[in-house]
Amino acid sequence: MRATTKAHIAVLLTNFFFATNLSLVKHISPAMIGPYGVNLLRVGITLILFWLLWVFSKQEAGIDKKDIPRFVGCALTGVVINQMLFIKGLTLTSTIHAALLMLTTPLLISVLALWWLREKFTYTKLLGLLLGISGALLLILSRDASGVASVRGDLLILINAISYAIYFIMVKPLTSRYTPLHVIRWVFTFGFILIVPFSWQDAQQAAWQSATLSQWGALASVVICGTFLTYSFNSYSLKHLGAATTGSYIYTQPIFAAIIAALFLQEGFSLEKALAGALIFGGVYLGSRGR
């Protein structure tokens, strides 16, 4: 099998695992463990796995002192704010809302690139931004028939998407100087140190003794498949397919998430959600044209 074929399979699995995460997290949090406790386990165990992977890969060890502030900034936006708000927001809203709002990430990256990377501004990108904002607002303000979604949860997911977009811009210079595994390993190292004070209490209060077998399985899947493998597969796909092709697979997430949520969480897909999704899709398409 060719490397590009493997990369396509890897990135498809990445987005499937991420969409599955949306439902699995709701199965274990807050019933088994608080949202911040889930994040502590995700980051901590994944960090150990990345360091073990580095031991066998025999890659470079340290980082340049001048890059430490950027690594810390990436850890803050890509691990602490991003993942903590994502898990917390997911426990307060529906999986379909979360999946659709996460689609705003490519659009936000395009907007940040206009200012940070000084990319050319066009009216097409402005129209894309307005469509994306309209879709996000429609989704947040619409009434959820299932009663699962909330404005607070949707806003946390949206802030999480903004944080990840900033991380994506900040991490770009590091990927040109270090290997993907090296960058992710150090980002997770600094990130773990920063989240411990916020997450330790949730981890201590976890209901380990009353946890069911399905909850243990869900937690293992969130850590191994939904965190470690997704980051590893994504790095492999970026290497063989490039950022544009790898990023385009994000559009499969709402499809996977809607199917899984309908089957296991009995969440419905309304006309308002479909319209909001169409506006966000259109906004992302127009906002990323000509990049």
The structural domains of the chain, with segments of one domain joined by +, span 3-57+65-204+215-287
Locate tokens 């990840």: which residue?
A: 164
pLDDT, one tens digit for every residue, the chain (291 residues): 777 888 888 888 888 888 888 778 888 888 888 888 988 998 999 999 988 888 887 766 678 889 999 999 999 998 899 888 888 888 888 777 777 777 777 666 666 666 665 656 667 766 766 776 677 666 666 655 555 567 788 888 888 888 887 887 788 788 778 887 888 889 999 999 999 998 998 888 888 888 899 999 999 999 998 888 887 787 777 667 766 566 667 777 777 777 777 666 665 556 666 777 677 667 666 655 544
Contact 4, 241 (CB under 8 A): yes
Give the Å distances, CA to CA, from 176 to 26, 145, 182, 239. Answer: 37, 47, 11, 12
Cβ neighbours of residue 35 under 8 Å, at least 6 residues apart?
A: 25, 29, 84, 87, 88, 90, 91, 202
Give the pTM: 0.76
Q: Is residue 93 packed enough to be buried (19+ CB in 10 Å), middle (13-18) or exposed (0-12)?
A: buried
Give the whole-angstrom CA distance, residue 121 versus residue 130: 14
- Residue 109, CB-side half-sphere exposure with 13 Å CA sphere: 22
